[in-house]
A and B are shown apart, each in its own frame.
Chain A
Amino acid sequence: MTFAHPWLLLGALAGLIPLLIHLFDRRRPRPVSFPAIAFVLKSQKRTASRLKLKRLILYALRTLFFLAIPIALARPEFVKSATAVTAKGAAATVVVVDTSLAMRWRDGSSLFDEARKEARAALADLLTEEPAAVLACTRAPAMTGPLSFEKSRLVTQVDELKPGYEAVDLNRCLEVAARALEESPLANRRLVLVSALTANALRLESEPPITTGPKGEKVKPEVVLRDVAKGQTLPNRALLDVRAEPAPQVGPGAWQFTFTVRNFSAEAQRDVELTLKVDGEAVTKGFVELAPEGTTQKTLTYRFNRGGAVYVEGALTPDALPEDDVRGLVVTVPKALKALVVNGEPNPLKVKDEAYFTDAALSAPGSPVRAVVRDADAAWKEELSAYDVVMLLNVAPPPAEVTTRLEAFVAGGGGLFVSFGDRANDVDAFNAALGPVLPRKLRVVKTAVEPNQADSSGRAARLTQLEAAHPVLSPFTGLAREGLVSTKLYRYALFESVSAGDVEVLATLDDGAPALLAMRKGKGRVLVFGSTVDRDWSDFPIRTAFLPFMQRAAAWLTGSLDEREQLRARVGESVTLPLTAEVAVVVVKSASGEERALTKDETGAAASAGPLPEPGRYEVLDAAGRPVEALAFSATLDPAASDTTKHDVEAVTAWFGEEVVKLAEGESTEKKTPLWTWLLLVSALAFVGEGVLLRK
């Protein structure tokens, strides 16, 4: 017997009302002188026994009336207890408990709490001679042991179960359970499925589980369905994805975050609040409208005032499944870069100035680079270590001391950009001075056509093959590529074929000559453009591609582009981290403190850890236990796990086969007998009966 509103049972005290009235409401009778009192007395004697019975019945009816109404309002239901024992006799049993993310759905108590109760009830229903096992259905389900008669141990096992964060494959779990049942000598087999029966967990298009009997015959196990959702739908909304990208149009340090939100319920949801949090602090909010079963995207922007690894999180207003209402990622906000632009050919006329276009490009809004322009003499006096990038624009061969400093600067992690011009015409002198830092030495300066010739446009050299995979050129695809390949080079440097190291040719001219060379040298990087960055040898500065090219070139030279590559990991899977020689990391640590050891792969260039236990931010710790900021990452949920759409119990029953689903439970099949309607009927009958009796 269960009550929907047990507190209303207090109203049953109203059953005392007739008694109290009888005890305390004794009205004083009106005295009347009456001559025929003998007949009154005779009548009273005649009717005394009948009246006594009538009063008793009236009292009973009134008490029944006052008792039945509050009990009926408490909505009692007689729940017929399901027993798993069939008429066929003892059966080997495996209780499969769904631990998917959907089981964390809660309305008061969580579905998983209900699942524990159901699993315990299933174990309690077993006969003592029935062996059983409990299988937690996870991503990788496995039996923890053989079937056992120790029910107490199994109950403990159930109590220790925890819900996961992943989508699970119930078909796979049932298959594992079916195989375990085959180990039992008992002919009868039973699967108890304790689950919310979500559509993503149980695929009804595949075959239902089947076991092989002792004689090799195929036997369908009996199935007990315990729908922890009791047939009700599980409305849910979730943040399925978050994408981060710089938003230079908004301002320096600005990023935009695009969230994908999905509504898994059949009802529209309006004004759902979406909060953007940076390192746990809410910084901006927005609202999303969700159509029934619909998906929408929402973009929020934020300007970071510092660089480095930042944990950014989007959070929806929590619903019944709050775990998937939050999704985070770690973004590496580039630090402000400082570039020393060495102007090899200053000119009072700005458009003739060698550094004019470069300075303009690096100083444009949204640029991560702050440029400092110096002529060569002044530049050589600068402390190079104060800069992240040095850009040599058509400089004359510097003194050897400068070359040495430049070499040390690059080796120490600095970036060096080199472009040419008329000051490089003396190729030998240039090679002698800057050869140690160049990827390849200059061979000769080639003139494709004089810029002022009439047909210079047609005869000018053009960039053809672009290494689009390289971070510097990766944005130049589609129309953006046109902006780059339409550049006309009238004069350019030809390089020796011998490289000084591991040199990448990022772009070549239509005659096959390399036009853009990239090289890593020590901790630093060198990028060489074979022509000018003013309009003396090319029209590159007036092309649309010039500005983003220069900014990305500066960013790549400092390693910023590498840092922006976000590391994505998923809960339940392993994460693979790139390793560097400088830092030896040993463990990843979740926000709640759970740790997973890192294991290096064969090459030693990467290490993996997992499976990741929970969503959220993870820190990567070195041997000394210090977090390595550059490797921090965020683990997210599988979007499929958020899909809480349910199967009908009838459909699942039909899939297993109605002949084997002996004791299906759930909203549609649970044998509940509502008693409150009968109580109301009894109350009404008591009321009518009391009225009729009073009239007699």
Chain B
Amino acid sequence: MSLLDAQLLSRLGGLKVRARAVVEGVLSGLHKSPHQGQSVEFAEHKEYAPGDELKHLDWKAFGKFDRYYVKRFEHETNLRCTLVVDGSGSMGFGTAGLTKLEVARVLAATLAHLLLKQQDAAGVAIAAKGRVVEVPPRSSASHLQVLFDTLERHEAAGETDLAATADLLAEKLPRRSLVCVFSDFLDDNGEALKRLLALRARKHDLALFHLVDPAELEFPYDDPTLFLSMEDARQLEVNPREIKQSYLEEFGRFLDETKATCTAADVDYVRVRTDEPLDAVLVKFLSGRVGGRR
């Protein structure tokens, strides 16, 4: 398995190339696709009871056993997946080759590629600058290019607005869907996470990709620094050495609480360091889903 880290991906040209590179890594890492495609397969026999569809009576079984049995089928519909990408200003931060937004794009594009490849429907929603750019899920092969273009077009700016995106999706998603959210979840009040978790209550399948830059985890600053907010006009002059310990504690607590909240809400939580190999991230995610409940 080739592990594609952020440094390597950053040297690859466009999103399409990056996504394909990751897809190759993912497919070579998976022995079996978790998705079975669009088909109707026999599942079991059931003794006829009033109200059952007569068209499902198995006449051959009646001939053998002289009893009415109804055939039961496992009816698998195509998977509908909406890839939600946080396009706020904070996602433009990156110290390991790729910004968090770029990593989110690659992950989203890779998943879209995989989904469309097995005839599942994939759509994209990008939340930024107080609005949501949405491309509804489709399963046609030509839709992949539309998704790529949409993902690539958008740049990181403005405040995090995942809450509004969650509300929008709650209204628009017609039936059970898979919602993959790529964000750093750095909003001030934690409202975005709450709203997203509300999707789970509507029976949607939810997976959160929490993107974290190494600099956020390690706080590698020594000299007096003027920290500038990436989403608003806030700025703060501090001596990083003096607050480093406290910062690391605060940020670590935030990560732990986010994970704990997701776990409690039965939501897949994947923490993604922007400097780690992305194919490995997806392989781990997909393997979890194949072996897991869904």
Contact = CB atoms under 8 A, between A and B. Distances in A.
B186 to A, nearest CB: 6
Interface in A6-61: 27, 29-44, 46-47, 51, 54
Given A30-B224, A32-B228, A39 B236 contact: no
Interface in B54-102: 89-91, 93, 100
Interface in B191-223: 213, 215-216, 221, 223
A46 B246 CA distance: 8
Interface string B154-167: 00000000000000
Given A39-B254, A40-B238, A40-B243, A34 B224 contact: no
A691 to B, nearest CB: 14
B2 interface: no
Nearest to A40: B227
Contact of B236 (A27, A40, A51): A40
Given A44-B236, A44-B243, A47-B246, A38 B188 contact: yes
Interface string B233-258: 01111100011001101110010000
B226 interface: yes
Contacts of B235: 31
B226 A31 contact: yes
A35 B230 contact: yes
Contacts of B215: 34
B251 A39 contact: yes
A36 B237 contact: no
Contacts, number: 84
Contacts of B242: 47, 51, 54
Given A40-B238, A43-B250, A34 B230 contact: yes
A37 B238 contact: no
Contacts of B251: 36, 39
A531 B230 CA distance: 141
Given A42-B250, A47-B246, A51-B242, A37 B229 contact: yes
A35 B188 CA distance: 11
A29 B241 CA distance: 13
A113 B237 CA distance: 65
Interface residues of A, number: 21
Contacts of A29: 223-226, 237
Contacts of A37: 227-230, 234, 236
Contacts of A36: 90, 186, 216, 247, 251
A46 B253 CA distance: 14
B250 A39 contact: yes
**Residue with the highest number of chain B CB atoms closer than 10 Å, among A29, A31, A42, A47:** A29
A473 B226 CA distance: 114
Contact of B243 (A32, A33, A43): A43
B184 interface: yes
Contacts of A33: 93, 227-230
Contact of B186 (A31, A35, A54): A35
Given A40-B227, A40-B247, A35 B221 contact: no
A37 B228 CA distance: 7
A34 B227 CA distance: 6
B93 A35 contact: yes
B94 to A, nearest CB: 10
A30 B228 CA distance: 10
Nearest to A42: B250
A31 B246 contact: no
A39 B216 CA distance: 10
A30 B226 contact: yes
A47 B244 CA distance: 10
A58 B235 CA distance: 27
A429 B87 CA distance: 164
A35 to B, nearest CB: 4
B216 A32 contact: no
A43 B250 CA distance: 7
B230 A38 contact: no
A541 to B, nearest CB: 114
Contacts of B231: 35
A27 B224 contact: yes
Contacts of B238: 40, 44
Contacts of B89: 35
A41 B232 CA distance: 14
Contacts of A42: 250
Contact of B225 (A30, A35, A39, A46): A30
A300 B140 CA distance: 131
Interface in B78-128: 89-91, 93, 100
B12 to A, nearest CB: 24
A51 B241 CA distance: 11
Interface in A543-592: none
Contacts of A31: 225-226, 228, 235
A33 B95 CA distance: 11
A51 B242 CA distance: 7
Interface centre among A35, A36, A37, A54 (most CB of B within 10 A): A35
A53 to B, nearest CB: 12
B247 A43 contact: yes
Contacts of B184: 35
Given A40-B227, A44-B243, A35 B90 contact: yes
B226 A32 contact: yes
A41 B231 CA distance: 15
A40 B231 CA distance: 15
Interface string A632-661: 000000000000000000000000000000
B90 to A, nearest CB: 4
Interface in A42-84: 42-44, 46-47, 51, 54
Nearest to B254: A39
Contact of B227 (A27, A32, A46, A47): A32
Contacts of B237: 29
B7 to A, nearest CB: 20
A43 B246 contact: yes
Nearest to B187: A38
Contact of A34 (B93, B188, B254): B93
A214 B213 CA distance: 100
Contacts of B228: 31-34, 37
A451 B5 CA distance: 146
Nearest to B186: A35
Contacts of A46: 246, 250
A535 B199 CA distance: 162
Contacts of A41: 234, 236
Nearest to B224: A29
A30 B242 CA distance: 16
Contacts of B234: 37, 41
B241 to A, nearest CB: 8
A538 B231 CA distance: 143
A32 B246 contact: no
A638 B225 CA distance: 83
Candidate in A29, A43, A46 with the most chain B CB atoms within 10 angstroms: A43
Given A37-B236, A51-B242, A32 B254 contact: no
A42 B248 CA distance: 11
Q: Which one of A31, A32, A40, A42 has the highest number of Cβ atoms from chain B below 10 Å of its Cβ?
A: A40
A30 B225 CA distance: 5
A35 B251 CA distance: 12
Interface of A: 27, 29-44, 46-47, 51, 54
24 contacts: A27-B224, A29-B224, A29-B226, A29-B237, A30-B223, A30-B224, A31-B226, A32-B221, A32-B226, A32-B227, A33-B230, A35-B100, A35-B230, A35-B231, A37-B228, A37-B236, A39-B247, A40-B238, A40-B243, A41-B236, A43-B249, A44-B243, A46-B250, A51-B243
Given A31-B228, A44-B238, 20 more contacts: A29-B224, A30-B225, A31-B226, A32-B221, A35-B89, A35-B93, A36-B186, A36-B247, A37-B227, A37-B236, A38-B186, A38-B188, A39-B254, A40-B247, A41-B236, A44-B236, A44-B243, A46-B250, A47-B246, A54-B242
Closest 8 CB pairs of A and B: A35-B90, A43-B246, A29-B224, A43-B243, A43-B247, A29-B226, A31-B226, A35-B93
